[in-house]
Amino acid sequence: MTDMILFGVFPYVAVALMVGVGIYRYCVDRYSWSSQSSQFLESRVLFWGSVPWHYAILIILLAHFLAFLVPSGWGVVLGNPLRLYILEVTGLALGISTLIAVTLLIFRRSLNARVSAVTSAVDWLVLAALLLQVATGVYIAFTLRWGSVWYLHTASPWLWSLLKLDPQVHYLAALPTVVKLHAFNAFFIVALFPFSRLVHVVSVPLTYLARPYQVVVWYRERRAG
């Protein structure tokens, strides 16, 4: 019953919150739909925390996503021991980078008074959830070999069952608590998304890539003729 609530019901609650509250916030308070940069308050530690964090977590999430989306293809890639080692070692290195980076970002917010002053309770909750997520991920990768392989037969079908609106929580039932914590916390982060700075994930200003680097807006009324 607990598994059903945590892994069969909560993921839908989290996604509903993300979409519903996200759209509401965008409509009523569009200016807050950003990461509210604190770069002008402190930039050196931010650089060493934020840049590795974003590169590493994006690659890790891409690997999670591909293994979920095309488990058979991913299985073929992992079928060769050399490729399996390379992918696992790369994943572990990236995982450790995210762990160091998020720890730096937490220290920055705690130790720098100016940054700490603009840090809300939700910011702390997001940072704690991210730290827990990457710490459990690295722990799993270290202690429960070979995560990338058993993910294909447990996490992937569970996630597909959620997508088909037919949650099959038995795929997770026999897994160790740390894996369940990792899976639950992933959806907790999804639930936090619309209440926090995480919304910046879907507000990347891609139009900036194509627009002129300088836009001059002329306010004075043009004279007739």
Q: Which among 13-21, 27-35, 116-124, 176-184 is the span making contact with ligand HEM, rule CB under 6 A? A: 176-184
CA atoms within 13 A on the CB side of 172: 26
User: With 0-12 CB in 10 A as exposed, 13-18 as middle and 19+ as buried, what is 175?
Assistant: middle
137 forms part of the interface with ligand HEM (CB under 6 A): yes
Distance from C-alpha of 41 to C-alpha of 43, rounded to nearest angstrom: 7
Among positions 8, 49, 71, 95, the unique one binding ligand HEM when judged by CB under 6 A? 95
Tell me the site size for ligand HEM, rule CB under 6 A: 24
183 to 212, contacts with ligand HEM by CB under 6 A?
A: 183, 186, 189
42 forms part of the interface with ligand HEM (CB under 6 A): no
Close Cβ partners of 14 (under 8 Å, ≥ 6 residues apart): 187, 188, 190, 191
**CA torsion sign, 174 to 175 to 181 to 182?**
negative
Task: Please report where in the chains the tokens 């994006």 appear, as a residue.
Answer: 58
Among positions 18, 138, 169, 199, the unique one binding ligand HEM when judged by CB under 6 A? 138
Q: Which among 40-48, 86-94, 160-168, 203-211 is the span making contact with ligand HEM, rule CB under 6 A? A: 86-94
Token digits of residue 162: 């959620």
Q: What are phi and psi of 186, to 5 degrees?
A: -60, -45
Among positions 151, 167, 171, 191, the unique one binding ligand HEM when judged by CB under 6 A? 151
Report in angstroms how near the CB of residue 71 gets to ligand HEM at its nearest.
12
CB of 49 closer than 8 Å to CB of 104: yes
- Interface positions with ligand HEM (CB under 6 A): 57, 60-61, 64, 88, 91-92, 95, 98, 133-134, 137-138, 140-141, 147-148, 151, 155, 179, 182-183, 186, 189
